[in-house]
Structure 1
Amino acid sequence: MAPATEVATIPLASGAAIEDADSSAGKVWQSTLDTVSQQDGFQRAYYGREVENQSVLQLFIDWDSLDHHKQFIASPIYGPFAKHLMTIVDGTLTMLHANFAPHPPTAALGTISPVTEVLTFYFEKENDGFDSKLRQFIKVISENAEGFKAASGGWVIEDVEYKGKKGKAYVAILGWESVKAHMNFRETQAFKENINIVRADPLGMEVHHTEFVAR
Structure 2
Amino acid sequence: MSRVCEFIYLRLRPDVRPEEPGNREGEQFMDVLRATKMQSGHESSAWGRSLEDENDIVWVIVWGDARGAARASTLSPFLDPNSEAVALYTTLSPPIDSASDTLTANPVTELVGLAFPTTITPLEHKKLDEDLIHLRNTLLEKLPEASRPKSWSMGHIDRPGSIQHPNSPSGQVLVQFLAVGWESVDAHMAARETAAFSDAIAPIQEKTLPPPKGLDMRHVSFTKV
CA distance in 2 between partners of 1:23 and 1:99 (Å): 35
Alignment of 1:179-190 (within 5 A): 179-190=185-196
Q: What is aligned with 1:92?
A: 84
Q: Contact 2:153/2:178 (CA < 8 Å) preserved in 1? A: yes
Q: What is aligned with 1:66?
A: 66
Q: What is aligned with 1:155?
A: 156
- How far the C-alpha of 1:51 sits from its partner, in A, is 0.8
Q: Which amino acid aligns with 2:34?
A: D
Q: Contact 1:107/1:175 (CA < 8 Å) preserved in 2? A: no
Segments of 5+ residues of structure 2 without an aligned counterpart are none
Q: Which amino acid aligns with 2:163?
A: V
Count of residues in Structure 1 that have an aligned counterpart in Structure 2: 204
Q: Contact 2:50/2:219 (CA < 8 Å) preserved in 1? A: yes
- How far the C-alpha of 1:14 sits from its partner, in A, is 2.1
Comparing 194-203 and 4-13, the one that deviates more = 194-203
1:114 to 107, 111, 129: 107
Instruction: Mark the CA change 1:22 to 1:163 in structure 2 (over 3 Å): closer, same or farther.
Output: farther
Q: Contact 2:96/2:103 (CA < 8 Å) preserved in 1? A: no
Q: Does 1:82 align with 2:83?
A: no
Aligned to 2:30, what secondary structure does the other structure show? helix
Q: What is aligned with 1:169?
A: 175
Q: Does 1:178 align with 2:170?
A: no
Q: Contact 2:96/2:102 (CA < 8 Å) preserved in 1? A: no
CA distance in 2 between partners of 1:103 and 1:14 (Å): 33
Q: What is aligned with 1:19?
A: 19
With normalisation by structure 2, the TM-score equals 0.82
- How far the C-alpha of 1:66 sits from its partner, in A, is 2.6
Percentage of matched positions with identical amino acids: 22
Q: Which amino acid aligns with 1:118?
A: L
Q: CA deviation digits over 1:82-114, x for unaligned, max 9?
A: 34x211111121111111111126465122x11
Q: Contact 1:108/1:174 (CA < 8 Å) preserved in 2? A: no
Q: Contact 2:103/2:109 (CA < 8 Å) preserved in 1? A: yes
- How far the C-alpha of 1:170 sits from its partner, in A, is 1.1
Aligned to 2:150, what secondary structure does the other structure show? strand
Q: Which amino acid aligns with 2:207?
A: D
Comparing 12-21 and 182-191, the one that deviates more = 12-21
With normalisation by structure 1, the TM-score equals 0.85
- How far the C-alpha of 1:31 sits from its partner, in A, is 0.7
Alignment of 1:14-53 (within 5 A): 14-53=14-53
- How far the C-alpha of 1:130 sits from its partner, in A, is 3.1
Q: CA deviation digits over 1:48-74, x for unaligned, max 9?
A: 1111111100011110133132xxx6x
